[in-house]
Amino acid sequence: MRTDDLQSKHGRRHFLRFLTGGLTLALPGWALARNGLWMPDEELPITPTQIEGPFYPQPSIDQQLFNDTDLVQRAAGHEFAKGEQIIVNGVVKNRKGQPLPGSVVEIWQACATGRYHHPRDENNPALLDNNFQFWGRAITGEDGSYSFKSIIPGMYTGRTARHIHFRIDSPGLKRLTTQCYFSDFGEDNARDGLYRSLQPNERKLVTVELDSAEAAKLNTDAATQGQTIEQDRTPRSGKFDIVLG
């Protein structure tokens, strides 16, 4: 769209708003939206829904013995999981941008070799990393924030995009099930059926940008080749804010 097109469109919006100021009071929101008279562009876009997939943990995450926010180490004193460590954090908020404290954020994912800890993935020939905690659970604080320490998920047959599954329950709101992806793997993402099913603007909302992509590539290559990544380096982190409708 050209700049002058945009300007004229904005001009039209303002004019329509001025013209329909009275109507806005008299008509319900859906009627205005249907007629293009109400544009809720002040509100944040809702995080797109993605399918749950077949590997939601059994028993459910809240029933698991180890289910905290550190997936890299199941409990103090245990071995570390293989793979490049990362921090994924963000804020759960509503469409007005207000934080949603007390929301339950659950995640589950494949280990570095691309296998889920799930009965349905038992025929997967990839080695199960028993040091990995394949899921985690966080409750958002007063500021709506959550944070997980995990690893870059491995790839597995059927998907070409590395992804982490999310399920968010916030008091009084509809459950959101989705998945997040990583901008480091743009070409893989572009070939993934589920990622491609999203509109380009929706893809942005579920794509996490981890800091310093070059270090990531080196680490992921090393992890894929079975090398252990130094555990003492600060993990790269990326933000995944979640907006509930």
The helix (H) or strand (E) run that includes residue 167 is strand 164-169
Are 179 and 164 a contacting pair, CB within 8 Å? Answer: yes
Are 86 and 157 a contacting pair, CB within 8 Å? Answer: no
Q: How far is the CB of 180 from Fe ion (least distance, A)?
A: 11
Binding residues for Fe ion, how many (CB under 5 A)?
1
Q: How far is the CB of 238 from Fe ion (least distance, A)?
A: 18
Listed ranges 10-18, 45-53, 217-225, 227-235: which one lies at the site for Fe ion (CB under 5 A): 45-53
Q: How far is the CB of 116 from Fe ion (least distance, A)?
A: 7
Listed ranges 50-58, 95-103, 192-200, 201-209: which one lies at the site for Fe ion (CB under 5 A): 50-58
Are 194 and 161 a contacting pair, CB within 8 Å? Answer: yes
Are 86 and 238 a contacting pair, CB within 8 Å? Answer: yes
Nearer to Fe ion, 109 or 140 (CB): 109
Nearer to Fe ion, 133 or 140 (CB): 133
Nearer to Fe ion, 38 or 108 (CB): 108
- Strand pairing report for 207-208 and 236-239: unpaired
Q: How many CA atoms lie within 13 A of 48 on its CB side?
A: 19
Number of residue whose CB is nearest Fe ion = 53
Q: How many CA atoms lie within 13 A of 237 on its CB side?
A: 11
DSSP readout, 93-116? EETTS-B-TT-EEEEE---TTS--
Listed ranges 37-45, 53-61, 126-134, 166-174: which one lies at the site for Fe ion (CB under 5 A): 53-61
Q: How far is the CB of 49 from Fe ion (least distance, A)?
A: 15
Q: How many CA atoms lie within 13 A of 126 on its CB side?
A: 22
Query: Interface residues for Fe ion in 56-85 (CB under 5 A)?
Result: none
Nearer to Fe ion, 140 or 160 (CB): 160
Q: How far is the CB of 159 from Fe ion (least distance, A)?
A: 6
Q: How far is the CB of 8 from Fe ion (least distance, A)?
A: 44
Chain centroid, CA 198 distance in Å: 13
Would you call 148 exposed, middle or buried from its count of C-beta atoms within 10 A (0-12, 13-18, 19+)? Answer: buried
Tokens of 188: 């893989």
Nearer to Fe ion, 53 or 99 (CB): 53
Listed ranges 27-35, 48-56, 184-192, 210-218: which one lies at the site for Fe ion (CB under 5 A): 48-56
Nearer to Fe ion, 53 or 101 (CB): 53
Nearer to Fe ion, 145 or 224 (CB): 224
The helix (H) or strand (E) run that includes residue 83 is none
Judged by the rule CB under 5 A, the positions of this chain that interact with Fe ion are 53
